[in-house]
Amino acid sequence: MANSEGNKLWGGRFVGATDPIMEKFNASIAYDQRMWDADIRGSKAYVKALEKAKLVTTEEMNRILQGMDQISEEWSKGVFVIKPGDEDIHTANERRLKELIGEPAGKLHTGRSRNDQVVTDMRLWLRDAIATLKENALQLISTMVERAAVEIDVLFPGYTHMQRAQPIRWSHWILSHAVALSRDVDHLQEIKRRVNVLPLGSGAIAGTPFVIDRELLRAELEFDDISINSMDATGQRDFVAEFLFWASLCLTHLSKMAEDLMLYSTKEFSFLALSDAYSTGSSLMPQKKNADSLELIRSKAGRVFGRCAGFMMTLKGLPSTYNKDLQEDKEAMFDCYDTVHAVLQVTTGVMSTLKINQSVMEAALSPDMLATDLAYYLVRKGMAFREAHGVSGKAVFVAEAKNIPLSQLTVEDLAAVSPLFESDVSSVWDYSSSVEQYSAPGGTAKSSVTAQVDHLRNWLRKHAQ
């Protein structure tokens, strides 16, 4: 038996060396080394369970714990040396442990498989990652809510189908995206609960033949629950798929917001200007100020979608339990985390530094956006809304035929469309009054938007605890 195979965690029954190309193809150390801390935490908990089961002595346990602490310090200081043959983080840490303490290191893997070891590492790593992403998202939401509170009196056009629809508050637009992000945080918390289930002690497939106290492992590693079935525990990656979908949906929300902001920042709109800190220029055209931060936020959504779809395709063809195909889970998980982590921080920067042009926003309001208000005027006079909608549409047609704004139709012009129009119709042509009528919960009136701000502030306080 070649030494290179004998040193591997699986090398006992193999003769001859692995093809170097296969060695590189099979290795995951280049990316799964990110889980070094989770792997060490899992091993330290596991050796305590081994000691309780009398599979290692107390002295051996202490030596292993001390060795793992030294390995942790080496990783923390960036001096851990990855060597040829370290195909993954588990192999690397166990190899180094043996160098430090000798033969007792060989007992650490008793009853444990890389199948339950790797999925434990992943759950520990993702649990920490979720906490970071939640903090990032809460910071962004807080930034948006406080901006909405400060700029609550700014009105501008609301759009549907990319056409001017109705006057709304700028703060109402901000909060529409903050609410979507709050759902993302709630969803992330639900995923964390399903992530936080202990698989360690499941072995490769059938469980462990030793008296391993899985409750001890659960408590040591601060998991909420213990996996029910060893085959499912080692072979399922639902928690990864859920996280990838969550990342896709979160970036869908952020991409939509970025698209709006890009349009609003163009010369054609000029509603706002991005800070230079989140813009770039052109190598050819000196006048250009490009919203590259927003364009990249939009593009990163596609990157994450691809990771999610690709991993789902990997999963769909697998038979039961662990297969090496599942090695693809880690790069997808890491990349989506890195991407969302960066996007949330950049979006926070964009939202905290952009400058709005209130006069341009309000100048963009036009009387045709009050056509619905004209219909509501008739409803308040007793006309059925469906009829009022048609009458208002006729008024719009008359204004277009005369080539004048809707608000410049005379009372006589309007009375020709419906006798219910009287001189008090002039009150319709006021944008502030228009937004103030939408005072029901969720609306764009100042009282309603203030209530939304208060609701989200309370929500933020709850999640900050």
**Which of 76, 275, 282, 447 is the catalytic position?**
282
Q: Which of 27, 39, 127 is nearest to 86 (CA)?
A: 27
Question: Alpha-carbon distance 413 to 392, whole Å?
Answer: 12
Question: Could you give the C-alpha distances from 319 to 122, 309, 367, in angstroms and in order?
Answer: 21, 19, 63
Our answer to whether residue 161 is catalytic in this structure is: yes
Based on C-alpha coordinates, what's the Rg of the chain? 31
Burial of 205 (0-12, 13-18, 19+ CB in 10 A): middle
CA gap 171, 146 in Å, rounded: 10
Q: Which of 4, 43, 142, 161 is catalytic?
A: 161
282 catalytic per annotation? yes
Q: Which residues are catalytic?
A: 161, 282
